[in-house]
Structure 1
Amino acid sequence: MDPKELFSTNLIDGKIVASHIERQCSPLPSVIVIGAGISGLAAARSLYDASFEVTILESRDRLGGRINTDYSFGCPVDMGASWLHGVCNENPLAPLIRGLGLTLYRTSGDDSILYDHDLESCMLFNTDGHQVPQQIVMDVGETFKRILEETGKVRDEDPDDMSVQQAISVVLNSHPELKQQGLSHEVLQWYICRMEAWFAADADMISLKTWDQEHVLSGGHGLMVEGYDPVIKALAKNLDIRLNHRVTKISNGFNKIMVTLENGTNFVADAVIVTVPVGILKANLIEFIPKLPDWKVAAIADLGVGNENKIALRFDKVFWPNVELLGIVAPTSYSCGYFLNLHKATGHPILVYMAAGRFAYDLEKLSNESAANFVMQQLKKMFPDASDPVQYLVSRWGTDPNSLGCYTYDLVGKPEDVYDRLRMPVGNLFFGGEAVCMDDHQGSVHGAYSAGMMAAENCQRYLLEKLGHVQNNLPLVSVVRHEMLETTNIPLQISRM
């Protein structure tokens, strides 16, 4: 074949499409990675270290995707992912975090009823501004555990899936002694609010069948004190990354794939790894030619995409108590709320209000100023003399055209093989991102990272076999070690002030 090759003459959607795309041949296999989030960077890093020709196309004007460390407060504030879920050496991100010397602030041990926080460093208030006695918080927490245990029995007795909310209703109707009244009812709603935050979805949307089947690593949960940005920068070092390159079409030809940007520019490679959020795939913002097979389309449709937003407030001084979590209880989980106290973890006078599910979408309907004002109203219910913030930040993940949500969750009635189908390649088209990770680590940063590594390894094996390079000196991804990973003797730096 001539060094300038004919891209394809294929039968696509019943039409003969001839594309004369000129491209200089490379002696090494070439891969395009779509998306510069941690999954895409992990995939590209692995292939680059294995001497592949790799190009990353990213629609945003920055790296990180749903990781977004903001420095406008004069210190790092993660407005997207901010926790390492599983502070242990078994976490696939641990070697990189160790090598970079990053500090983790542990907010919970294993099996906390609040998921990523311990109850001991939590203070709740009602809407009148009165603190909820800690004994009530503890007692309702025990009741909530019992309710969740009973939902397991509901699941065992009913072959049909239902929502977690429906199962809780069944339990409370069957066990009236577990029903809560007055302030205790509001505290129970707050616990449900925290559960919804874990999934970034309302309880009436979450599958009872799988909600507690997630494999959570040991060691509890740790905030990245310096933010996730150092991890992103380390993975991105020396990679060919094209920002502001929004992909709108992927055309699979004979042995080559052409990727088209919104401005009409084309890139051609031997394979493509797609790591865009599932929200983008569900919205059909990327056209696939030929169309993705029905089983892949169904897998995308069968998953839910949750939404969680943060409103970060920086103050001149600290006026709140020295606990990690400040919560507001209310008659419904929708009306409950909570603040993460970054001062306890980082020493900076910052509170971060967090909202999930429908409430997160409703907050996005407000202007940034209105959203900040709403949050301050909530804060002043707890602390009437609260000073106004000197700065604020507002995330909008649900309407962000580059994400359309935060991370995946299991819809009611989800087929058991949906994740297997989602991660399965289509020829030389591979898929990464948090949703396709193995071992039920969806929605986590380490899950997204490991999914990128897995996609890269599968892509490399496919290309080396197809191109006849199996016996050459190109190393397999699985044995490639990034320089920051050679740090097995350095412990994780964990604090809890």
Structure 2
Amino acid sequence: MESNNLSSCEDFFVHGSFSPFEKQPSSPSVIVIGGGISGIAAARALTNASFKVTLLESRDRIGGRVHTDYSFGCPVDIGASWLHGVCNENSLAPFIRLLGLKLYRTSGDNSILYDHDLESYALFGLDGSQVPQELVSKVGEIFEKILKEVNDFFPVLNAVKVREEHQDDMSVMHAISIVLGKHPELRQEGLADQVLQWYICRMEAWFAADVDAISLKNWDQEDVLTGGHGLMVHGYNPLIEALAEGLNIRLKHRVQKIVQRNNRVIVKAEGGRHFVADAAIITVPLGVLKANLIEFEPRLPDWKLSAISDIGVGMENKVALRFNDVFWPNVEVLGVVAPRSYSCGYFLNLHKATGNPVLVYMAAGSFAVDLERLSDDKAVDFVMLQLQSILPRAPRPEQYLVSRWGSDIDSLGSYSCDLVGKPPDLYERLRARLDNLYFAGEAASVDHSGSVHGAYSSGLWAAADCRRRLEVQCGVPDLLKLASLREEMSSSEIMVPLQISRM
């Protein structure tokens, strides 16, 4: 697919239909831009269908925002960590089963904290004293009541829900304040209010955005799969590597311009490298599209540009700490409560899930942005102040890792989120095809945005759409279609049980 190569598809348009005695057209060509799991999924599906596929990735590695680091001597996911929805309906389930990858269950269905259950926490005040578990559970139940008063699907106090009585959109934080004004019995004071703020902090972590920026109309519209949530015990990398095996991947190929011309796509990368194909699938992160780092010729239409502009990009960063010994309680999460959600914090205990002496501090929203402004050393200093406030004898870590998804030129954010006052069809518009340009990625997933399986499914969806169009346009022989169908059937018949446990 190097420049100046004419595809068989274009030859077919020039010379007309072919006969059994003529040279039949070879497979159509596709360029996939972005080597995250969405791009890998698209490239895998089209390669399996005998298309000519080249995947261009700007980084020196594949995976994108799904990245497992091994510098601690054990796997640590610096990006995505969870499989959200441990069930057969999850599009990644067949491959996780096939590879025998183990999961650690952190919550069941309907957890108000989404990826963790209430009993998995040990919360502490800034003075180092542990919050009684009875108070944690009580405030958790109150928080659930507040959220059910916010939306209109779960009547609790027999009152008109906030979303029902307000036609205009507002932030979830504004809606919560309305609920507390209507129902003062739900208000909390002192330590209980700090626990409530911690729950709000956890909610912000789910959306990677401050609660005063999250849309009331859309905050709970995601199709959350059943089966609860599971940490990838060995990280996501084994899955990424298996899906990418045998693909034609060009690393360190940063795309600068995409040109549509004469039923072809010309992709220009840094260093003057050109690639030409019948179609292209664009899977770069939404933050990259927002920053206009890729020039389109012709210019993207306004309806596409407004979708790119109006979908939010949330921020979540991690500071991973490896210690020689385990000195913390045997719980999944250590939390720090405070008078404001911004000042709350929490550590994910990987020792509980993987047996490795690692704590991962997780920051979201504006706090994650502020944390990213610090140097690595200063960020670790801050995190250690929080840890030593609850565990005074905590030593300095032997090693540490600090993520910077916001300033990373190849991501410019963590994952998409719904902002206040934006139209509901943004995800459909983002993924909509533009002739022979296709769009995929977690932000182009209509039902599962912000998730790994959503990004994966989006890549499959774009590949299927691309394949249907090019097979008709290029006259792909039925033999190729049958080969691809057999490939799809064999992968769908894998029924090895998912390996998930909780200790």
Q: TM-score range by the shorter chain?
A: over 0.9
Q: Which residue of 2 aligns with 1:169?
A: 177
Q: Specify the alignment match of 2:210 in structure 1.
A: 202
Q: 1:4 to 1:385 in 2, by over 3 A?
A: closer
TM-score, length of structure 1 as denominator length:
0.93
RMSD: 1.7
2:416 maps to 1:408: yes
Matched position secondary structure for 2:271: coil
Relative to structure 1, is the Cα distance of residues 6 and 115 closer, same or farther in structure 2, using a 3 angstrom cutoff? closer
**Other structure's SS at 2:468 match:** helix
Q: Within 5 Å, which residues of 2 pair with 1:246-395?
A: 246-395=254-403
Offset at residue 467 of structure 1 (A): 1.6
SS of the aligned residue for 1:263 comes to helix
Mapped partners of 2:295, 2:427: distance in 1: 21
**Alignment-derived partner of residue 98 in structure 2:** 99
Tell me how far 1:50 sits from its aligned partner: 0.4
Opposite residue 149 of structure 1, the aligned amino acid is K
Deviation at 1:488, TM superposition (A): 2.5
Of 475, 481, 485, 2:481 maps to 475
Q: Distance in 1 between matches of 2:43 and 2:57?
A: 12
User: Deviations along 1:96-147, whole A, 9 cap, x unmatched?
Assistant: 0000000000000001121100111110001111100111111111111111
Instruction: Give the AA of the match of 2:455.
Output: A
Instruction: Give how far 1:418 is off.
Output: 1.2
Instruction: In structure 1, give the amino acid aligned to 2:332.
Output: E
**Structure 1 stretches of 4+ moved >4 Å:** 3-7
Distance 1:373 1:466, change over 3 A: same
Question: In 2, Cα distance between the equivalents of 1:68 and 1:463?
Answer: 32
Instruction: Name which of 482, 488, 501 aligns with 1:495.
Output: 501
The equivalent residue for 1:447 is 454
Structure 1: gaps spanning 5 or more residues: 8-24
Paired residues of 1:73 and 1:314 also in contact (CA < 8 A): yes
Once residues 85 and 478 of structure 1 are traced to their aligned partners in structure 2, the CA distance between those partners, rounded to angstroms, is 28
Give the direction of change, closer, same or farther, for the CA distance of 1:480–1:242 in structure 2 (3 Å limit).
farther
Distance 1:234 1:358, change over 3 A: same
Q: CA deviation at 1:216?
A: 0.5
SS of structure 1 residue aligned to 2:487: coil
For the structure 1 residues 424 and 326, does the alpha-carbon distance in structure 2 shift closer, same or farther, using more than 3 Å as the test?
same
Report the Cα distance in structure 2 between the residues aligned to 1:364 and 1:26, rounded to whole angstroms.
52
**1:302–1:418 contact (8 Å) kept in structure 2:** yes
Q: Work out whether 1:228 is the aligned partner of 2:236.
A: yes
SS of the aligned residue for 1:446 comes to helix
Task: Show the counterpart of 2:18.
Answer: none
State the partner residue of 1:184.
Answer: 192
The answer to whether the Cα contact below 8 Å between 1:58 and 1:245 also exists between their aligned partners in 2 is: yes
Q: CA deviation at 1:481?
A: 3.0
Change (3 A) 1:176 1:74: same
1:143 paired residue number: 142
User: For residues 154-165 of structure 1, what are the structure 2 equivalents within 5 Å?
Assistant: 154-165=162-173
Shift of the alpha carbon at 1:476?
7.2
Task: Please give the secondary structure, in 1, of the residue aligned with 2:224.
Answer: coil
Mapped partners of 1:362, 1:106: distance in 2 = 31
What residue number does 2:469 align with? 462
Structure 2 vs 1, CA of residues 388 and 477 (structure 1 numbering), >3 Å: closer, same or farther? farther
Equivalent residues of 2:25, 2:475 under 8 A apart: no
Aligned counterparts of 1:462 and 1:489: Cα–Cα separation in 2: 32
CA distance in 1, matches of 2:487, 2:398: 44
The answer (yes or no) to whether the contact 2:108–2:229 under 8 Å persists in 1 is: yes
Confirm or deny: 8 A CA contact 2:267 2:276 kept in the other structure: yes
State whether residues 83 and 453 of structure 2, in contact with CA within 8 Å, keep that contact through their aligned partners in structure 1.
yes
Q: Which amino acid aligns with 1:173?
A: G
Contact 1:456 1:477 in 2 (8 A): no
> Contact conserved, 2:94 with 2:495, CA < 8 A, in 1?
no
Q: Distance in 1 between matches of 2:474 and 2:98?
A: 35
What displacement does 1:171 show? Answer: 1.1
Q: Deviations over 1:205-246 (max 9, x none)?
A: 100001111111001000000000001001110101011100
* CA contact 2:25–2:474 (8 Å) conserved in 1: no
Q: Residues 383, 476 of structure 1: CA spacing in aligned structure 2 closer, same or farther, 3 A cutoff?
A: farther
- Within the candidate set 202, 222, 244, 1:214 is matched to 222
- Specify which of 221, 238, 242 is matched with residue 246 of structure 2: 238
The one-letter amino acid of 1:306's match is G
1:132-172 C-alpha deviation (Å, 9 max, x unpaired): 01111111111111111111111110110001011111111
Shift of 1:480: 5.4
What does 1:417-432 correspond to in 2, within 5 Å? 417-432=425-440
Residue 359 to residue 242, structure 1, CA distance change in 2 (3 Å): same
**Shift in Å at residue 27 of structure 1?**
2.3
Distance apart, 1:263 and its partner CA? 1.6
Tell me the CA shift for residue 264 of structure 1: 1.8
Correspondence for 2:111:
112
The SS at the match of 1:452 is: helix
